[in-house]
Every structure is written in C-alpha cells, then in structure tokens.
Structure 1
C-alpha cells in the first residue's frame, strides 16, 4: 500500500520543512529526499495524531457534565412521552422541555474557546501550505518508507512535487515514486494488483514495465494510449498518479469499482493537487475521483479531462432476472452455489497469498485481520479463509493467526456499554463457531479481539475522523467511519482464544493486533440485495399480483443493484480506506473482486439473491392475513451452510453504526438524521 500526494503548479515549490535534512539536489531542477528511519517516520505521523492527545475545553466541559446531561436527557424523554391533559398542561410541558434543552446546551457548550488551544493544533491549522500539511497524514498510511521528489518541466513552466509513503506488503520492495523509461515517467501506485503475471512480484514495477512495453508497441507518438491501455489491463484494488514528463501530462484515477481512495483539488491559480486523503472541509474544494474514470491533466493548458476507462469486460451490466417468474431446479441452484464458491475462494486466496511483508519479525507466521461484526458477510469471509488455509498443503511450516476485530462503543445517549452492544454478542457467538470448526488444525488460530471505545476516546478522535473521511460529511458517515477507525487500530483490546482441550475461553488484556492486512465484507449487500431499501421494492406486491407486477419489482431491484455498485466508491470505499489506512493498515475486499462481481451480476438470478414466499397467519381474534416473507442474500446464506456455518445463516442485516452503537454518541442527538451534514 502507498500514500499518494502529487502537486502540479506554476509556482516553484516550498520544500516541506520535514525534509530539510538529507535533501539531495541532482541539478537545479531535481530534488530528492527519502527515509526508512522508523523513529523519524513515527515522529512525523505523531504530528497528525497530536490533536487526539488532549481534549478541547468544550469536550472537557461535556465530560465534566456527563452525569448531569444524562439526568437532563432522562427528564427530557419523560416529558416527551407525557401526553398533555389540557391546553394549559401542554403549555407547561413545552415550557419545561424548553428549559431542559437550554440547560443541556449550557452543559454541553462553553461560552468561549481557550486561545492557547491553537498552539496544540497540528500544522494544518496554523497556516502551513497545503502540500506540507498533508505530509504527516500521507506518512501514516505507509510507515515503512517515505520519499519526496520535485522537478521542474521548463517547456510547460511547471513544477511537480510527489510524496509517497509505503506500507511494505509485497516482495521485492520497490521505492515509490517509481521512475521508468529513463525517468521520463514517474509512478505513484496505491493498492494491490492480482494480475496473474505479477502475483509473485512487485505491482508498481509491473506497471512500469507494462508502460514501457506498450510505448514500444504503440510508438512514442501514442504515449497517452500506451499509459491508458496499461491502466485498463490492471486487475485489483488500486489508485494511481502517473506523470509523463515527455508529454507534460498527469494521469490519475482508481480501479473500476473505486476500492482505494483518491481525491483532487483543482484551482486555476495554483494548479492541481492529487492525494489519498484530504485536509478536511475547507477552501480547497476536494473532489472524490470517480471509479473507472481516467483523469488527464495537461500541464501547458492547465485543463483537466476525464474519460471512461476502456475495460476488457462489461461495464456494470444489469443483473439478470430471467428466473424471477420461473424458479430454478435444485440442481441448477446447487451449480450456482458451487460456481460462486469457486470464484469467491479464488478472490480470498489471492488476497491472503500476497501477504509477505519484508518487515515481519517471524516469517513463519501470517497475521491477518477481518473486520468482524459476527454477521453473515464477515463470517462467510472468515469461514472461507479458514477452509482455504485448512486445505493448503503449503502451510506445513506456517501458522496463520486470524484476528477477528470487533468494536463496541460506550454510548452515553443510549446508555448501552460496548460489551453490551449487539455486534459484541453476535461476534462472540460467530467466533466460537469458527474456532470450534477450524482451530482443530494446529496451523490455524481464530482469535476474537474486542475493542471498547469510551466516550472520552470518541471525543478525542472525532475531529481527526471527520477530516480523514471528508468529502464524506454526514452523521451516518461519521458513525460508520469512526467504528472502522477504532476497529482497524485494534489496540488496547481484549484477545479471546478458545482452548479446545479445556473448552475454556482464555483472555489477554491490552492486546494490539499485528495484522497489517484486513479483509472486509463490504460489497455483499450491494451484490446480493442485503439492504432494507431492496426489500421495499416489493412493498406493493400481493399474493395475487400478476406476473407483470412481479417482473416489474425484480426489474426495479436490478436497477437498484446496478446503481449500488456504480456509486459504492462515493458512498463507502473512499471513506473507509481513508480512515483505516491512517493506521498503516490495508483493506481488501473479496466480494468486490472483479470476477466475483461479474459472476454474481451476470449469472446469479435475482430471485436467488432476494428470495420471497408468502406466510399465512391467524391472530387471536381469528383474522387470517397473508404477508410477504422475504429472505435477503438468500444464496449467500446457502453458501454459508455449505461452509458449516449454520449459526449465522439466518442472521438479519444490522448496520455497523447500530450494531456497534457508534451512532449518535452525543446526548441530545435523538432527532438527528443520518443524512444530516455534520
């Protein structure tokens, strides 16, 4: 994984102060700096983390008054639940409600901000340049190696700055930015490639070699085609920024689903900044790069063009629904499940086979993390990985330690503790099923890592999460992002290990997971119709509805699912990557593997995703009614059963912010909507 920061400007750069030592000037136009000094890199990262060390005066005020706020909130809820007996009584209730709300406001807000707090804020808040302010944030994404280069392209009167941070996960290690074709092309690449030709080599070097080969094939006059063709041939999870000095252009973008974050800020007066992260909501007008789009910035004209990536396969085809009115036979359904198992196994395999960091202390141990709520999607990934490792003969000299990372919040508004959150209970149940099934193999160990987040810790990190997740900026974005943020940090948790010989659970406090690669179940709901809004498509369906009504409902569902994959880069992927990678962790998505998407979209019928039947019930008064009995993600549940995961097969969908209790952490937020902007 790599952090990308690239600036193209008509103004000469002001070299970030962090690089003042060890700068190498090769001539008047080229400046280079790099470092593998772990202590220096950590010191740089700590600049960005500094704001989480102390509470602001306002947040401290909330902590000091937390018990009073809880009492006020209880009184307020009591009044809201009281029905007025008369008009005068209603007026009394309204007046009492208003007084309590004013009291809560005074308990939550201070009437002034301590000016001395400004001295404790990180450099981004005290007037340093945009590029410099982003350096510590980019460094946190790749704590193993940093490199800065700047150069002047005289013909275009343009200066280019590139800064990369590298998390070492693939051998051989290659420095970034990568210089190829006699240093006429400079490549920054963030992600993992799963092209068969580069599974056992470094992916950024593979890209450079491919560009050189394509330039040779198409000729120097078709350099643009050579670069774009190279991008279209890449398979995996990635973002990139490629500077072609010869043609004075920069190409940047993301894979066709958008699994890695990339944003840009374009100003006519100051040029273009491309980055893996933003510095928050400000005058820079950050834009999220669209998926499957190649952006091309021309240095001479200062214009930005974009065009759709020329993909080898179909682009977001509409899901098939030809069996919606005519159920498949049992053997055909079994074939669908078997084929899905085949492509999904391969998607998981390629994502765990390519974990071999050169900085690992023990080469005989593979550390893997799974973001784990205990629900269907993440448990299916865990079960697939467990079965995958149990069948691998190449594991004979290795031990696989799989940390299932589950997070819970002590929510002062709902007064639910982290240990009592729904996800915590379900995670323990699903973990026990996995451990009993797979830990019998001495080479495999599933451990549950319970991460608790109290209100004070939430307040300390809230502003950092808001900045990292931007341009996503709603209450729902925050509640989801902050859950992933703490789960992926995976520090100061409690590790649970099942002792199979005694059937007892052994615990280890203050545990920090060493896993640098985390698997996520994101994409399953979008592929298999897992959201409640997918179910609402069938609200108007009746037992006697004609075939045309049923066909219309499934056609509407097909449109929903097609759009879900098209916009997932903006709704989820960029946000999640930005907050999780801030801990030097890399997220990988088996459900969003291109072959998995293509198979599920093009060959799995819609009624195998959203399956329904009719249920007739009689109430106590003898009234008979018939209602829809829906099963979302039906085929995925059947697949879970083939893995022996019967416990999770019938679990309902629960959004992480509600399962972990990270939604609406502030007392008095009862009326806040998830779509409200922060």
Structure 2
C-alpha cells in the first residue's frame, strides 16, 4: 500500500516544489515507511511526483523511483501472479524494470495485461514526454484526478483533499483501462488536455469498438470541457484478466429439479443433501482450492520473524498479528478466516476486527431471524437474553448498547474458529464507537477519504470500515478484558462474495421478476460497477491507517472460476435466505467444518454494526449525505 501523487503544471506561474499541506498529510497516512518527492521539468510543463510507501515485501524501495534515462515510476499495488516476484524481491522495482525495458506502447500494455493483483500506478516516460496512469481491472486501488478548469494544471493522487465551501473537484479515475497524456502537446496555450485511453478487452469479444465509444462518452461527461478523452490511434487494448460471465441457462428439464429442491427445509441438512451430488461436491472442492490459494498469496507476502520456531512462537503470548480480518461472523468473513488459518503460521495470532456503533435504544437486539425458531434442526444465533451459548453473551462486556447483531454473530463465529483450531490465538477485537466519536472523526478525517463518493450508503460503510480497520478496541480473555490495538498491516475483507454469488436482496427480487436470465445480468452489472461503487472508497479508508486492504474474493482466478460456472451451480434462489443465496459458498463452509455461520443470511455491514440510521431515520441509502461535506 502506498500513497502516490503527481501534480502537473503547464504554466510557469503555477510551478511549485510542494503539494498542499493537507494533501501531503493524507498521502503520508497511507505510506508511513518512506516519503520522497521528485521534480521533473520539460519545455512546457513541470511534474512533481510524491511517493509514500507502506513497506510489505522485499527490500524497502522508496518512491518515486527513477532510472538513468529519467523515467519515473509510482506504484501502489501488489503483484500476486502473472509476473514473477521472488519472496525477497520488491514488486515496485520489478515492475519498473519491466517498464524501463519496454520499446513501445504495445510492450507497456503487455506488462499490465500480465499482472494479477490490485494496482494503481503513474509512469513518466522521459523520452516521449508521456505520462501513463491507471487502475487494475476491478479498481481495487484508489486513484483520483483533479483538472484545473483553465487547463493550466491537473493532479493524480491516491487520495484527495478538500477546501471548505468549495465543491469537491476530485473524481475517481475510471477503471476502464490505462490512460496516457502527451505532456509536450498539452500546453497552457492550447488550454486542452487530451487523454488517450487503452481499454480492457476480452480477446474473443465482439462489438469492442462500440463498447470503447460508450466508455469514452461516459468518461468525458464527467470531466471539464478543456479535457478530452480519445481512443488511442493504434487501437491497442489491455487483455482482460478474467473470463466473461457464463450466461448459459439450464434446459427446461432442469427447471423442475431446480424447483423441487426448494421443498427441502432450510437447514444444514439441506446443504449436506446438495453435497451428495458428486459433481456438485467436486465443484465445491475446486472453489475451496482456488479461494484458498487466493487467501494464501494475501497472507504470506509479509515480513515475519523467521527465527522463531513454532514452539517458541506458541510461548510468545504477546506476539503481534500480521493479518487482520474485517469480521462479522457472517459466511464471508468466516470462510476467509478459516482459510487464513490454513496458511498463517500456527504461532501467529489473527485479529478479528468487529465494529459496533452505539444503539439509540440501548437495548439488546433480538435474533435477527425469528422465523428460524420454527424450523427443525435449525442453527440459530440467539439473542443475549435467551442464549445459553457463551459465544453470544455479553458477560464480559458491560456496554450492552454495543451488543449489535454483528457483535452477537461475531462472538458465535469466534467459538466456531476456536473449535476448528484451538491452538490459534484468535484476537476478537471489539471496536465500540459512540455517536460523539463518529461525528467528530467523520468531520475531521473520514469525510475527506470517502469523497468524491457522497451518498448515505458511502457514509455508513465508509465510516464503519474506517473504524473497523483502525483496530482500536478491547479483547476479552479468560481472565480479563484489556485494551487492544491491532497493528496488522494487512486487512482481509469479504467484498466481492455478494456481488458474484447473489448475496443481496436485489438479486432475489430480480430473479423473481426476470428469472435466471435476469439474475445473470444483475450479477454481470454488479461486478462491472464494483470499482466505482466500493473499492476506491474502501482502499482510501483502510489505507488511511497505514494498512492494506486485500480482497480474496476478487482474485482474478477466483472471479474467473466463478464466472465459468453456470448460474445454477452457484446459487438457488428458490431456496430461502441463508441457504440459496451464496449456495456455493455455504457448501464450501460446510466442507470446511463450519456450522451455524454456514446458514447466516446476508446482513449488510451498515445494519449489522447499527451505524445505519444512527443519526437520521428518514434517509435512503442513495440520498446525498450532507454529513460528508467538509465544514472546516
């Protein structure tokens, strides 16, 4: 994780050797290990590069990096696959070496087509005076742009800044491909900045030209008139890193079988019945294997004290966790935690970050799914009052106003993980946020990170993820409750599971009105918009703590595997909530030895943590949120 920035000026009167103080502060928050700036000048322009590094792998490599020919590179990413990076090598240097050896545009595109993993970058090519920049296919790393209306300057940055009373002018760089600017031809005289786009393309796809035109039109609509976006003259493309979604529909004879299964009760036995089918069981195992590999690559690329033997490590009670998980006890975070346990050294703790916002009513919530009590052989997560399960009690927590749904399921999930691996130290970090603390830190810090997104939903999720990833709370042991701060640099999240496996209620609504064909289109749309809807915001919010968010469900191989499956092997929305949605993931959970959590229905973070409607009850998720405006 890094904070990267390039400020470009075409007018001498605007030339500067420093970034604005607040922008520099925001960037430094993301990269606490190293900070460095570099100035490059041409005949008509000046570029100020600013790099701030969070060191995670290989030798610490300060950024920006420059070679003997004057090329400059800023990299905020992780190479997990595609291009070989040895354990002790730094991927920034590897990527720069590849780019420096490129002879033409096609070579540069080949490099970025190969890389698997999250990234955003800025690359100055001295010989051509080109500035290249962009984000990965899913937009897992933030990159913003800001253009001066007079065409005299523009800025690219991982995170923006705001001026009181001025409308936010930063926008997210679309994850539509890689952009190129010819700095030599963009001058203060012409007052025009021309962006050349090299879009993503799946090799066998038809109507690529039409898609590119649509993309250009959409990007241009949000930019000042002095900025134009054009297709590159050579009509070159980046190769998409995933296979297209399988839109195949089942034969009519299968529809009857699909409906018959719905008569089976919504219990764990239902899932076990599905696993008696040999083909389905094989698909589930393939899914576990590909997801496990994705988790493995995201928990092992970290500096660890290799001098400790497993026995020594077990004796080190105060050993710090290197990996944390945004943890609600729901199916997504439980599967991620279970797979992380396979690959993280046994003597190393894992931090489970569980956030709760003070409930207005200050009462203990009842079970989130009362209907389950009517089912036989159900596996209910009970309320605090009715529970005989210590995982769902708050004996160790006198602050009952924080006993929100995600806290209850989180404690139950902790018990499941402890049963799977009692040797592991699982730090269940209870992060409690009062209204006063939420309002203060949103105003002074979080609103700048969520921007340029601005809806009530962005506010709720952005604030919840910021407090959760900060990791300041308390941990209950058998003897005491003690204050705790997670220092793990890597934070795993389950984002991407709902989008691909029909986890949202809107998926069920679409299925009920338009069948499997409509459901396929909804899933395709969800994945297509995830860069602008979620990932840039989450990257800015998590990165503000000098930590890196990693998303196993959005690993290129995981997405390609899920995209290759027909819809009926992933979900069955004729089954009730908690079974048919994310069916494939639930079957994987059962195979991994999980119990109650395999049946938990989807509960959005803003509701599970109780941040939604905490301050206003009459808001809609899509409304613009006034609380995100900077006051001072």
1:556 maps to 2:518? yes
Aligned to 1:248: 129
More displaced stretch, 2-11 vs 320-329: 320-329
1:637 maps to 2:586? yes
Judge conservation of contact 2:324–2:491 (CA < 8 Å) in 1: yes
State the Cα deviation string for residues 493-538 of structure 1 (Å, max 9, x = none): 11134xxxxxxx4444221111110000000001111000000013
Aligned to 2:203: none
Deviation at 1:274, TM superposition (A): 0.3
Aligned to 1:348: 295
Aligned to 1:303: 194
Give the Cα–Cα distance (whole angstroms) in 1 for the partners of residues 22 and 455 of structure 2.
Answer: 24
Give the Cα–Cα distance (whole angstroms) in 2 for the partners of residues 247 and 590 of structure 1.
Answer: 38
More displaced stretch, 505-514 vs 527-536: 505-514
Please list every run of 5 or more consecutive structure 1 residues that lacks an aligned counterpart in the other structure: 17-129, 216-221, 390-394, 498-504, 541-551, 616-627
Give the Cα–Cα distance (whole angstroms) in 2 for the partners of residues 347 and 676 of structure 1.
Answer: 36
- Do the aligned partners of residues 361 and 451 (structure 1) sit closer, same or farther apart at CA in structure 2, a change above 3 Å counting? farther
Aligned to 1:141: 30
Query: Which residue among 417, 425, 430 is the counterpart of 2:408?
Result: 425
Aligned to 2:464: 483
Query: Which residue among 354, 368, 371 is the counterpart of 1:406?
Result: 354
Aligned to 1:273: 155
State the Cα deviation string for residues 428-455 of structure 1 (Å, max 9, x = none): 0001110121123xxx322200000011
Structure 1 length as normaliser, TM-score?
Answer: 0.71
Look up the SS of the partner of 1:189 in the other structure. Answer: strand
Look up the SS of the partner of 1:487 in the other structure. Answer: helix
Deviation at 1:630, TM superposition (A): 6.8
Deviation at 1:420, TM superposition (A): 1.5
- Do the aligned partners of residues 494 and 414 (structure 1) sit closer, same or farther apart at CA in structure 2, a change above 3 Å counting? closer
1:572 maps to 2:456? no
Deviation at 1:345, TM superposition (A): 0.9
Give the Cα–Cα distance (whole angstroms) in 2 for the partners of residues 358 and 238 of structure 1.
Answer: 27
Q: Alpha carbon RMSD of aligned pairs, Å?
A: 2.6
Deviation at 1:610, TM superposition (A): 2.3
Judge conservation of contact 2:198–2:238 (CA < 8 Å) in 1: no
Look up the SS of the partner of 2:98 in the other structure. Answer: helix
Give the Cα–Cα distance (whole angstroms) in 1 for the partners of residues 304 and 162 of structure 2.
Answer: 31
Look up the SS of the partner of 1:431 in the other structure. Answer: helix
Aligned to 1:23: none
Aligned to 1:337: 284
Aligned to 1:318: 245
Judge conservation of contact 1:252–1:296 (CA < 8 Å) in 2: yes
Aligned to 1:657: 606
- Do the aligned partners of residues 186 and 458 (structure 1) sit closer, same or farther apart at CA in structure 2, a change above 3 Å counting? same
Look up the SS of the partner of 1:304 in the other structure. Answer: strand
Give the Cα–Cα distance (whole angstroms) in 2 for the partners of residues 611 and 532 of structure 1.
Answer: 13
Deviation at 1:229, TM superposition (A): 2.2
Deviation at 1:608, TM superposition (A): 2.6
Aligned to 1:226: 107
Aligned to 2:116: 235
Deviation at 1:656, TM superposition (A): 0.4
Look up the SS of the partner of 1:467 in the other structure. Answer: helix
1:172 maps to 2:174? no
Aligned to 1:502: none
Please identify runs of 4+ aligned residues in structure 1 that moved more than 6 A. Answer: 357-364, 413-416
1:518 maps to 2:491? yes
- 1:491-640 matched pairs, under 5 angstroms: 491=472, 493-497=473-477, 505-540=478-513, 553-602=515-564, 604-613=565-574, 631-640=580-589
Aligned to 1:191: 77
Give the Cα–Cα distance (whole angstroms) in 1 for the partners of residues 530 and 547 of structure 2.
Answer: 21
Judge conservation of contact 1:474–1:674 (CA < 8 Å) in 2: yes
Query: Which residue among 70, 75, 98 is the counterpart of 1:210?
Result: 98
- Do the aligned partners of residues 162 and 361 (structure 1) sit closer, same or farther apart at CA in structure 2, a change above 3 Å counting? farther
Structure having the higher Rg: 1
Judge conservation of contact 1:8–1:273 (CA < 8 Å) in 2: yes
More displaced stretch, 479-488 vs 293-302: 293-302
Look up the SS of the partner of 2:466 in the other structure. Answer: helix
Give the Cα–Cα distance (whole angstroms) in 1 for the partners of residues 617 and 355 of structure 2.
Answer: 22
